Amino acid sequence: AQKVTQAQTEISVVEKEDVTLDCVYETRDTTYYLFWYKQPPSGELVFLIRRNSFDEQNEISGRYSWNFQKSTSSFNFTITASQVVDSAVYFCALKMRFGAGTRLTVKP
């Protein structure tokens, strides 16, 4: 069985703070893909990143960075110097299995 756990239900930070969203997964597959999506108040899920289990290199894209650690089954997402526009619900996903999401609120 596959499972994705996002233990942080809600996080609130002040603009310009760094914030890390945690994601822990369970799978028996030896090869798999992990994803992060952003869901702003408008409701549409926006794809952020896809990572395959072969590649444990950290990825950085602007203010976003991802830390994939197969040994701990974690795929954490960090936003550096957060902005109000980052306020949204963020979902981690393993194939078609989504976590419950973390609601991030960035206050000015």
Q: Which is nearer to other proteins, 10 or 18 (CB)?
A: 10
Phi and psi at residue 38, in whole multiples of 5°? Answer: -115, 135
Q: How far is the CB of 81 from other proteins (least distance, A)?
A: 27
Binding residues (CB under 8 A) for other proteins: these are: 4, 31-33, 35, 37, 42-47, 50, 91, 95-101
Instruction: Give 24 or 45: the residue with its C-beta nearer to other proteins.
Output: 45
Closer Cβ to other proteins, 75 or 91, answer by number: 91
User: In the 3-class helix/strand/coil scheme, how is 34-77 assigned residue by residue?
Assistant: EEEEEECCCCCCEEEEEEECCCCCCEEECCEEEEEEHHHCEEEE
Q: What letter represents residue 45's amino acid?
A: L
Smallest distance, Å, CB 97 to other proteins? 7
